[in-house]
């Protein structure tokens, strides 16, 4: 059995539980594509699964120890091999996509029908690796708010992975976007197409006297209670914080029957349809990945520590090969 380098974690804990090790290289099944990974990312989700601070996450990852010891939710690279029934890809094709795990490695096996697509020609491997994870949550959150054409939306936390995706996608869907971020990211968020940018260190958007159709909290740092007076009648608050998993369902039910303002929660999804939409927008130069820092795979602990500061802008990339 051939081996590869991968970042593994065999127990839950701080970033230091991560280490680079030799593991068995995956063998693609008949309907799978083997991708040689050039770049991947370290996300907030990766950090949360590794630490397991939200204990309910262990229901998905393993009660006492991780069932899958390799994290990593998105990647870009080149096709190394294809299964016998694969028709859409051939060896050498540059590709990008997402799987939900296992991308912190030199190789990954992905079903042909999974979110995998040719890499946009106008993107580097590092940029392409940083496309999908934030958008995989931003898209269902925006969908939960209903049609956005001609409506006003606040994207709170507009400079993170989910927020930068949310600003660009909300504009694509025809919304009037007010983006909230810190001072150092105002210029960046303006460049993503926001109609208005609010510096949260200088102004509280809930105190500006305006009302909005949708408030999308892309970082889980605010709440329906704090922002409900800034919603128009019939408006929607969309949350992303997994820590709210216990009480958001109660709010969903309560606001369904009481009052005219709604609470919704986005659930990340990884679909080929969403990936192909992003590819189309990228090639039309209507969507771009935002990269804060790039680290070599061997510096994954340092990269993870930085992600956990909560101050990253866009995405943190791990360079694996190339």
pLDDT at 321: 87
Gap between the terminal Cα atoms of the chain: 23
HSE value, Cβ hemisphere, 13 Å, CA-based, for 239: 24
Q: What is the DSSP letter of 105?
A: B
Residues in contact with 78: Cβ distance below 8 Å, sequence separation at least 6, in sequence order: 35, 36, 38, 92, 93, 94, 95
107 close to 78: Cβ distance less than 8 angstroms: no
Yes or no: is domain 133-265 CATH 3.40.50.720?
yes
Q: What is the DSSP letter of 310?
A: T
Q: Which residue's entry shows tokens 């971020």? A: 181
- Domain ranges across the chain: 3-131+290-319, 133-265
126 close to 39: Cβ distance less than 8 angstroms: yes
pLDDT in tens, 245-303: 444 554 545 455 445 788 888 888 899 999 999 999 999 999 999 999 999 999 999 99
Residues of the chain with pLDDT under 70: 54-56, 241-259, 322
pLDDT at 114: 96
pLDDT at 247: 47
Residues in contact with 247: Cβ distance below 8 Å, sequence separation at least 6, in sequence order: none
DSSP assignment of 46-95 equals HHHHHH--SGGGHHHH-SSS-SS-----EEEEEEEEE-TT--S--TT-EE
43 close to 135: Cβ distance less than 8 angstroms: no
DSSP H or E run through 255: helix 248-257
What CATH code is assigned to 3-131+290-319? 3.90.180.10
Cα–Cα distances (Å) from 117 to 46, 89, 150, 161, in that order, read 23, 9, 31, 20
pLDDT at 242: 55
Residue 229 CA to residue 233 CA, distance in Å, equals 9
């Amino acid at each position: 059995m051939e081996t590869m380098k991968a970042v593994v974690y065999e127990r839950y804990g701080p970033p230091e539980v991560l280490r680079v090790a030799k593991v068995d290289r995956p063998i693609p099944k008949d309907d799978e594509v083997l991708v040689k990974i050039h770049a991947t990312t370290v996300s907030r989700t990766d950090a949360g699964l590794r630490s397991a601070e939200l204990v309910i996450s262990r229901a998905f990852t393993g009660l006492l120890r991780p069932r899958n010891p390799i994290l990593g939710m998105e990647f870009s690279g080149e096709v190394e091999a294809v299964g016998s029934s694969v028709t859409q890809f051939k060896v050498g094709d540059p590709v990008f996509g997402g799987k939900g795990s296992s991308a912190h490695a030199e190789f990954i096996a992905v079903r042909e029908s999974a979110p995998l697509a040719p890499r946009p020609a106008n993107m580097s491997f590092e940029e392409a690796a940083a496309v999908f994870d934030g958008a995989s949550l931003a898209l269902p959150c925006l969908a939960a708010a209903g049609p956005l054409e001609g409506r006003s939306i606040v994207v709170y936390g507009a400079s993170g992975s989910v927020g930068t995706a949310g600003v660009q996608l909300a504009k694509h869907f025809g919304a009037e976007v007010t983006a909230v971020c810190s001072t150092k990211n105002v210029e960046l968020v303006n460049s993503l197409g926001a109609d208005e940018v609010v510096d949260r260190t200088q102004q509280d958007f809930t105190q500006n006297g305006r009302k909005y159709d949708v408030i999308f909290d892309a970082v889980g740092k605010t709440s329906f209670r704090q922002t409900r007076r800034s919603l128009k009648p019939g408006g929607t608050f969309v949350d992303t914080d997994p820590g709210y998993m216990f009480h958001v369902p109660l709010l969903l039910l309560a606001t369904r029957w009481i009052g005219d303002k709604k609470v919704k929660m986005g659930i990340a999804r990884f679909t080929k349809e969403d990936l192909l939409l992003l590819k189309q927008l990228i090639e039309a130069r209507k969507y771009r990945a935002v990269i804060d820092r790039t680290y070599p795979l061997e510096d994954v602990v340092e990269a993870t520590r930085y992600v956990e500061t909560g101050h990253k802008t866009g995405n943190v990339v791990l360079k694996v090969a190339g």
